[in-house]
Amino acid sequence: MSRNAESTAFRSALEVIRAVEPRVADAIGAELTDQRESLKLIASENYASPATLLAMGNWFSDKYAEGTVGRRFYAGCQNVDTVEALAAEHARELFGAAHAYVQPHSGIDANLVAFWAVLADRVESPALKKAQVRQVNDLTEADWFALRRELGNQRMLGMSLDAGGHLTHGFRPNISGKMFDQRSYGTDPATGLIDYDRVAEAAREFKPLILVGGYSAYPRKVNFRILREIADSVGATFMVDMAHFAGLVAGKVFTGDFDPVPHAHIVTTTTHKSLRGPRGGMVLCQPELADQVDRGCPMVLGGPLPHVMAAKAVALAEARRPDFADYAQRIVDNAQALAEGLLRRGAKLVTGGTDNHLVLIDVSGYGLTGRQAEQALLDSGIVTNRNSVPQDPNGAWYTSGIRIGTPALTTRGLGTAEMDQTAELIHTVLTQTTAGANADGTASKAKYNLDPDLADKIARQATDLLAPHPLYPAIDLA
| Binding residues for ligand PLP (CB under 6 A) | 44, 106-108, 111, 166, 168, 214, 216, 241, 243-244, 270, 281
Residue 377 to residue 429: CA distance in whole angstroms = 6
- 455 closest CA partner among 366, 377, 402, 347: 377
Residue in the shown chain whose Cβ atom is closest to ligand PLP: 107
Q: Which residues of 120-157 are buried (b: 16+ CB within 10 A; e: fewer)?
A: bbbbbeebbeebeeeeeeebeeebeeebeeeeeebbbb
Say whether 366 is catalytic. no
Residues 86-100 as b/e (b if ≥16 CB within 10 A, e otherwise) read: bbbebbbebbebebb
Residues annotated in the binding site, as ranges?
161, 165-167
273 is catalytic: yes
Our answer to whether residue 279 is catalytic in this structure is yes
Q: Say if CB 383 and CB 425 are below 8 A apart.
A: no
Give min distance, CB of 107 to ligand PLP, in A: 2
241 given a catalytic annotation: yes
Report, in Å, the least distance between residue 85 CB and ligand PLP: 23
Closest CA to 203 of 167, 164, 248, 237: 237
What is the distance of C-alpha 80 from the center of its chain? 26
CB of 111 to ligand PLP, least distance (A): 6
Catalytic residue, candidates 279, 320, 345, 348: 279
In angstroms, rounded to a whole number, what is the distance separating the alpha carbons of residues 331 and 341?
A: 15
- Which positions make up the binding site for (6S)-5,6,7,8-tetrahydrofolate? 161, 165-167
* Closest CB to ligand PLP among residues 113, 332: 113
DSSP 122: I
Catalytic-labelled residue, pool 40, 273, 276, 403: 273
Query: Rounded to the nearest whole angstrom, what is the least distance from the CB of residue 466 to ligand PLP in the complex?
Result: 25
List 52, 68, 270, 384, catalytic entry? 270
Q: Is the dihedral of CA 340, 342, 347, 350 positive or negative?
A: negative
Please indicate whether residue 252 is annotated as part of the active site. no
State the minimum distance, in angstroms, from the CB of residue 273 to ligand PLP: 6
Looking at beta carbons only, is 216 or 388 nearer to ligand PLP?
216
Q: Which is nearer to ligand PLP, 243 or 373 (CB)?
A: 243
Measured from the CB atom, is 44 or 384 closer to ligand PLP? Answer: 44
- Please indicate whether residue 371 is annotated as part of the active site: no
233's enclosing H/E stretch is helix 224-233
Distance, CA of 40 to CA of 14 (rounded, Å):
24
Choose between 108 and 230: whose C-beta lies nearer to ligand PLP.
108
**Which residues are known catalytic residues?**
64, 66, 241, 270, 273, 279
